Amino acid sequence: MLLSFFTEEAYDDLLNSISENTDKYFQQENWLDDFFGNNRYFKQSKAVDVLYYKPEYSEISKTDEQKSQEDLINTRLLFDAFKKLTPLQASNKYMWTYLCHAVPEYRKYIVNRWTDLRENTIKTRFFVTTSQKSLFDNSLSRLWWYGYLTYDKESHNPYALTEVLLTNQTICTDFMDTYNCRNTNRSKGVLNAIKDFKDILNKNEGITEYFRECNKYLNRYAAVTNLDFLEPDEIKDIALKYMMSLRQERRS
């Protein structure tokens, strides 16, 4: 399947017309042709060939835990299908925005995942704007980046770290909002630390606060040591030792 993308002019027109088009995002049928009239609003890239991907989700109202499980399922499906994308190609805001608008299955998935579709929600979930964070907010591109940052083809379970990332919505959001997501070595090191630390905790102990404190510690650590040059195992060791010492401190 060759991927298509909005033209720059079409993208700008849609972005500037969210308020007048809000109701259309709930429609099942394609409304783009009517909106753009006879104007050519998209192009097809012969350089980007991916597999077809259909989202999986429940129609019922979901808890945060259920949302994390659905995100895990869809990360696997989307990244397996779009694995050929390079990070540069996966940063194309016109491509992701087009997919969210033009493919009926994707539109339906987005409406199901974010039921309260207001103007700002439409902007963050259907569009990718200019900041890197917007790549992690968009309904589809975020799944690709979850997969890219965690997939390990050498592992018997290549999505083991994806499962760690999607332990819950808070850990996932906090992780993607920090420098952890800027470097795959740091990503894998931190997530492996969380994985091992979770095995140490008792059932009634939550990991979220430990992880938040660890993020703060790593940011301070990065001020004196460039973590980008460390191997994943070295970063894992730093993060795991800190969380274990913090736990020991709180238990003493």
Half-sphere exposure of 233 (CA within 13 A, CB side): 0
- Quick check: 209 pLDDT over 90? yes
Cα angle 165, 99, 137; round to 5: 35
- Quick check: 116 pLDDT over 90? no
**Range among 170-174, 215-219, 236-240 rated most confident:** 236-240
Q: How far apart are CA 11 and CA 22, in angstroms?
A: 16
Residue that the structure tokens 């499962």 belong to = 163
Confirm if 81 and 140 have CB atoms less than 8 A apart.
Answer: no
For all residues of the chain together, what is the average pLDDT?
93
Look at residue 85 in the predicted model and tell me its pLDDT.
95
Look at residue 252 in the predicted model and tell me its pLDDT.
81
pTM summary value: 0.93
pLDDT grade, residue 115 (50/70/90)? confident
Look at residue 167 in the predicted model and tell me its pLDDT.
93
Cα angle 148, 200, 70; round to 5: 40
250 CB burial (10 A radius; 0-12, 13-18, 19+): exposed
- Quick check: 240 pLDDT over 80? yes
- Quick check: 131 pLDDT over 80? no
Confirm if 4 and 41 have CB atoms less than 8 A apart.
Answer: no
- Quick check: 103 pLDDT over 90? yes
User: Helix, strand or coil for residue 226?
Assistant: coil
- Quick check: 137 pLDDT over 80? yes
- Quick check: 245 pLDDT over 90? yes
pLDDT grade, residue 210 (50/70/90)? very high
Look at residue 46 in the predicted model and tell me its pLDDT.
86
> Could you tell me the residue ranges of all domains in the chain?
2-155, 178-252
Q: Is 61 left (phi over 0), alpha (psi -120 to 50) or beta?
A: beta
| pLDDT tens profile 181-206 | 878 888 899 999 999 999 999 988 89
| pLDDT tens profile 48-100 | 889 999 999 998 888 999 999 999 999 999 999 999 999 999 999 999 999 99
- Quick check: 158 pLDDT over 80? yes
The radius of gyration of the chain's CA atoms, rounded to the nearest angstrom, is 20
* DSSP string for residues in 137-196: HSTTHHHHHHHHHH--TTSSSTTHHHHHHTS-HHHHHHHHTSGGGG-HHHHHHHHHHHHH
